[in-house]
Amino acid sequence: MNFPVLSAITFVPLLISLIVLIIPKSKENLIRWASTILSLIPLALALYVYYVVQADPGTMQFREEYSWIPALDVYYRMGVDGLSAVMLVLTALLSTLCLYYSIYTVKDRVKEYYFLFLLLQVGMTGVFVSLDFVFFYVFWEIGLVPMYLLIGVWGGKRRIYASIKFFLYTLTGSMAMLLAIIAVYLNTGTFDILKAAAAQPFANNLTYAAVAFWAFFIAFAIKVPIFPFHTWLPDAHTEAPTTGSVILAGVLLKLGAYGLIRIVLPMFPEQFAYYSYEVPIIPILAVISIVYGALVCMAQWDLKRLIAYSSVSHMGYVTLGVSAAAASLHAPGADPTSAIIALNGASLQLFTHGIITGGLFFLVGMIYDRSHTRQIKDFGGLGVKMPYYYGIMMVTGFASLGLPGLAGFWSELFVFRGTFAVIPTFAMIGIFGLVFTAAYILWKIIQHVFLGEFDQEKWDAATHNAKITDMATFEKVTMWPLVILMVLVGLYPSLITRLLNAVSTVLLNNF
Amino acid sequence: MQIFLFLLPQLVLFLSVMLVFGIDLMGSKEKKWLPYLALTGAVISLGISIYLYGWMDFEEGTVLGGMIAIDSFSLFFQIFASLVAVFITLLSMAYMKVKSPYQGEFYSFILLVSFAISLLALSSDLVMIFIAFELLSISSYILTGFFRHDPKSSEAGIKYFLYGSLASAMMLYGMSLLYGATASTNLVEIARGLVGIDPSLNWVVFPAIVLMLVGFGFKTATAPFHQWSPDAYEGAPTPVTAFLAVGSIGAGFAILIRVMITALPEFQMNWAALITGLSIISMTLGNLVAISQKNIKRMLAYSGIAHSGYILIGLVSWESSVLGTVFDGLSGILVYLLVYLAANLGAFAVVTAIEHKTGSNQIEDYAGLIKRSPLLAGTMAVFLLSLIGIPGTGGFIGKLLVFGSALRAEYYFLALVAIINSVVAGFYYLNVIRYMFFQPLDEPAREEIQVPGSLSVVLVLACVFTLLMGILAQPFIHFVQTSLKLVLS
């Protein structure tokens, strides 16, 4: 039997969390370093999976299948293709960086923190590798509890409100999904995600198909989040501890979008196309998310909240790309290449948004740790005082607004290139989002925080005489892998798109 | 011989009742070991019932003049009853030692109610059902009002008694109507009598069903027959509350299932409609009222009403043709009962431990529990997550099966109400978790809470059960699916 690589990636963090549980509470440094160093194992395995999968990214590899609950026909099914492999690398990378960053920043209840964080990693990783609905659902929900506790215990002032809101929103979506999963099972007779998609559930009953489609869609839309289901996000992101925000923005949001691409699109292509083209609810919601999210950012003076809303806007591109791909099925004269390009853009955006916004949240956390304020108006002229930080923030911010040469450019280009060919109206409205994004990043972040004269008195008043220091070594170490990736993917996007393209092609050709 | 073997667990329980009671009566000064005697009796009974379940083959049918049904369903509830006896005894040990001098009476009644549960579950005749039902009820009234010097406990006992007598009377009236319609008190005979019954007699059978549902609804704490439960839960000694929440409700479902499926399959259309209504009212009312509760025992009472509502879904969507397949409803009920047994007993063990130490049952006094006792806070979190239905705990498997059965039987509205309610329930369960984990201690120097040994056993076992049923559900579901053989006509 082959070595079960995917099980290892998923469950090694669980093993580490159990090790953390055994280490006595007082040995905080041992807990910190042991979990960080051991978390390199799943990262290495994820890179190995990426390396192997890229040879043939269109097919599911590393398949594992064992019977789990035969009485319910539930299997332990795992497998990865190009898309999941990319997401695996993203998850493992951001987790390791967060664990490393926490060594220096988390001082309170260290043991519980590391235990929960590793549990969270199990949940996230599991979603990307599972190919069985119940199995998928189990991981989907398991991540919820540690995240809830992370926000609630280590979060900011309004953490209790934010954590409950986060939990209940997601639980609502999950419950809808649970019913949909059961309905699909009763219709197709299998919990296998790939087989169920191939069986096209409810193909002969459009009402049921529409209901099941919306149940899945809403479950994932809450997680993405798509307007109007986004209201948990600003609260959760703002109140979460830095690493919590990084994981929320970097990985948890991707779970929703991944679900749209992996489950909803192949299983309900007709419904997805109908609600993207004939009754274009989904692209409308997508462009509202894009434009509205960006406009809120323009009006936002809380730095962390601003970046939280920028996620709403940026995840809107993903939804737009996926819906364009779906709409190509019904749009007359839409060429299949454009659909594939749109889907490539959407899935590439998952990766680029993960590293870019993850990086932005790290950066916000760094300045908050110094000043204990997130109000943009309290800052100003920091470019002189923190040149290194300024430089990193420039790169990350430019990547976020889609400057050519950096990672964010390609995903946005692909999304709009694909969408223009299929549903041009929405692409045209959505493009305003890009303009606003450039505006709030340049005006709000770069200008207000870094440019101008540094006013020592204002700073002292706002931060109670906090010391200004430039980035410490551990902060540089945390940021560099992300910055390198932004540049690398910016210069050589096929590193990722080669894998995604194969998946998109297979997906759309199966229609 | 077969009858004797089959009834051995009950006989052991009953013998232990007599033994504990008798020794207590002899007036020996040393009564410290009485709880252990009761525990031994319960464990032996559990051992025998597991042995009978796993290693003995019984000929299915009714014996003793049709009074008692020998089937795997009965055996399942024998195990259930013995489990309840074992756990409630363990739960009571440390708590009752300081609270009451009447050790002998208390433990003999705990064993007696467990005996009544198993007796009720295997009755297959209306007369027998009524006797077992009353035995269970009257013992429960006494246990609820056990602290006779505590006004709350006495009030709870009286209230429970008044509601209970009314419910019993109505149920008895319903039974007599059914007897009038079919000329038999035997469930199997009744079912035969109802096949092709003269339609004019429907007006006897319908009221009979309604009246009997009042009785069963009372026992299962189903709205709108639930009014006794919050007060009884709050006033009763906490281990007795745990019994009411788990044992009594389990017994109620056992007999509800048996009567509906064995005696009244002809009228499924009618009782399913009624039970659908009860289920919707129970889920919604229980969850909505639970939100505003400040006392954890009352909160668990209302959430228990809601859980009864979820369980009823399984009965509504029962169809004999799909028995033993995925999502057949009945196996959903039994799995849910097992899951609920573990999670609720565990939760009440935590409540007992905290009340034992602090004397308070207010949810706000759970603030900072993680600092005072990580064991209590951690296990309580697992139990509450299981009650919400988070995967990885047994509660998820229970909900999956029950909701699945609703969808399979095409009760879409019921499924929708159930999931909306699950989210509402998430809110108040999380509220407790929030207090335990997020709320800082108001007085920083509060002492740690030591958990007595017997309670730790319950906590750990319940926690392991809860997690096992979530992660390795197969043996449990298999166990339940083989327990679905009821005596039918």
- Closest CA in chain A for residue B424: A168
Q: What is the ipTM of this complex?
A: 0.89
Tokens 């540049």 map to which residue? A487
Question: With b meaning 16 or more CB within 10 Å and e meaning fewer, what string describes A331-369?
Answer: beebeeebbbbbbbbbbbbbbbbbbbbbbbbbbbbbbee
* Most B CBs within 10 Å, among A17, A144, A175, to test the B interface: A175
Nearest to A149 among B396, B420, B437 (CB): B437
Query: Over the stretch B458-468, which tens digit does the pLDDT of each residue have?
Result: 999 999 999 99
Strands of B164-310, DSSP E: none
Closest C-alpha to B279, from B342, B329, B205 = B329
Residue B28: pLDDT above 70?
no
What value does the mean pLDDT take over residues B64-93?
A: 89
Residue B39: pLDDT above 70?
yes
Contact B390 A145 (CB under 8 A): yes
CA distances from B239 to A394, A469, B144, B415 (A): 63, 59, 10, 33
> How does residue B450 score in pLDDT terms, banded at 50, 70 and 90?
confident
Indicate the residue type of B270. Answer: N
Strands of B269-403, DSSP E: none
Q: DSSP labels for A159-217?
A: HHHHHHHHHHHHHHHHHHHHHHHHHHHHHHS--BHHHHHHH-TTTT-HHHHHHHHHHHH
Give percent above pLDDT 70 in chain B: 97
3-class secondary structure for A319-340? HHHHHHHHHCCCCCCCCHHHHH
Nearest to A142 among B391, B399, B423 (CB): B391
Specify the pLDDT at position B158: 92
Contact A175 B407 (CB under 8 A): no
What H or E segment, with its residue span, contains residue A80?
strand A74-80
* Most A CBs within 10 Å, among B434, B439, B479, to test the A interface: B434
Specify the pLDDT at position B371: 82
Give how far the C-alpha of residue A505 lies from the chain's centroid of Cα atoms, to the nearest Å. 22
Distance CA A398, CA A442 (A): 9
Closest C-alpha to A293, from A319, A321, A312 = A312
Alpha-carbon distance A101 to nearest alpha carbon in chain B (angstroms): 23
Distance CA B339, CA B345 (A): 10
Portion 63-102 of A in contact with B at CB < 8 A: 68-73
Flag whether residue A299 sits within 8 Å of chain B, measured between CB atoms.
Answer: no
On whether residue A88 sits in a domain, the answer given is: no
Give how far the C-alpha of residue A28 lies from the chain's centroid of Cα atoms, to the nearest Å. 30
Distance CA B222, CA A366 (A): 54
Contact B434 A152 (CB under 8 A): yes
On whether residue A479 sits in a domain, the answer given is: yes
Specify the pLDDT at position B30: 63
On whether residue A107 sits in a domain, the answer given is: no
Flag whether residue B284 sits within 8 Å of chain A, measured between CB atoms.
Answer: no
> How does residue B29 score in pLDDT terms, banded at 50, 70 and 90?
low
State the residue range of the domain holding A431: 268-511
Tokens of B105: 């009476």
Indicate the residue type of A196. Answer: A
Specify the pLDDT at position B33: 82
* Most A CBs within 10 Å, among B408, B468, B474, to test the A interface: B474
Q: Which residues does B420 contact at the CB level (< 8 Å), separation at least 6?
A: A175
On whether residue A412 sits in a domain, the answer given is: yes
On whether residue A408 sits in a domain, the answer given is: yes
The 3-state DSSP class for residue A66 equals: strand
Q: DSSP labels for B86-129?
A: HHHHHHHHHHHHHH-S-HHHHHHHHHHHHHHHHHHHHB-BHHHH
Question: With b meaning 16 or more CB within 10 Å and e meaning fewer, what string describes A470-505?
Answer: ebeeebeebbebbbebbeebbeebeebbebbbbbbb
Distance CA B137, CA B248 (A): 9
* Number of residues written out for chain B: 489
Residue A171: its chain B contacts at CB < 8 A? 388, 422-423, 426
On whether residue A501 sits in a domain, the answer given is: yes
Contact B408 A186 (CB under 8 A): yes
On whether residue A438 sits in a domain, the answer given is: yes
> Quick check: B363 and B432 in contact, CB under 8 A?
yes
Query: Over the stretch B165-211, which tens digit does the pLDDT of each residue have?
Result: 999 999 999 999 999 988 889 888 898 888 888 888 888 899 999 99
Alpha-carbon distance B245 to nearest alpha carbon in chain A (angstroms): 26
Contacts 24+ apart (CB under 8 A), A35-40: A35/A99, A35/A114, A35/A117, A35/A118, A36/A96, A36/A99, A36/A100, A36/A103, A38/A12, A39/A13, A39/A92, A39/A95, A39/A96, A39/A99, A39/A118, A39/A121, A40/A96
Closest C-alpha to A382, from A455, A322, A328 = A455
Candidate from A52-56, B276-280, B321-325, B412-416 with smallest mean pLDDT: B321-325
CA distances from A385 to A238, A391, B434 (A): 25, 12, 41
Residue B1: pLDDT above 80?
no
Specify the pLDDT at position A511: 66
Portion 108-167 of A in contact with B at CB < 8 A: 112, 134, 137-139, 141-142, 144-145, 148-149, 152-153, 159-160, 163-164, 167
Contact B327 A149 (CB under 8 A): no
The 3-state DSSP class for residue B60 equals: coil
Q: What is the mean pLDDT of each run of 10 residues along chain A (511 residues)?
A: 82 90 85 88 91 86 86 88 91 92 86 89 92 91 88 84 88 90 88 86 83 91 89 88 89 91 89 88 92 90 89 91 89 83 91 92 89 84 85 91 88 90 88 89 86 82 81 87 91 89 85 66
Tokens 């929703």 map to which residue? A256
Residue B446: pLDDT above 70?
no
Query: Over the stretch B324-335, which tens digit does the pLDDT of each residue have?
Result: 677 888 888 999
Residue B409: pLDDT above 90?
no
Residue B5: pLDDT above 60?
yes
Residue B370: its chain A contacts at CB < 8 A? 112
Burial tier of B297 (Cβ tally within 10 Å: 0-12, 13-18, 19+) = buried
Specify the pLDDT at position B444: 58
On whether residue A190 sits in a domain, the answer given is: no
Residue B113: pLDDT above 90?
yes
| Residue B1 DSSP code | -
Q: How many folded domains does chain A comprise?
A: 1
Tell me the sheet residues that pair with B69.
Answer: B62
Q: DSSP labels for A85-150?
A: HHHHHHHHHHHHHHHHHHHHH--SSHHHHHHHHHHHHHHHHHHHHB-BHHHHHHHHHHTHHHHHHH
Flag whether residue A284 sits within 8 Å of chain B, measured between CB atoms.
Answer: no
> Quick check: B246 and B340 in contact, CB under 8 A?
yes
Distance CA A490, CA A485 (A): 8
Distance CA A170, CA B347 (A): 25
Q: Which residue ranges make up each domain of chain B?
A: 2-481
The 3-state DSSP class for residue B33 equals: coil
| Residue A286 DSSP code | H
> Quick check: B487 and B188 in contact, CB under 8 A?
yes
> How does residue B443 score in pLDDT terms, banded at 50, 70 and 90?
low
Contact A138 B392 (CB under 8 A): yes
Specify the pLDDT at position A199: 84
Specify the pLDDT at position A1: 52
> How does residue B31 score in pLDDT terms, banded at 50, 70 and 90?
confident
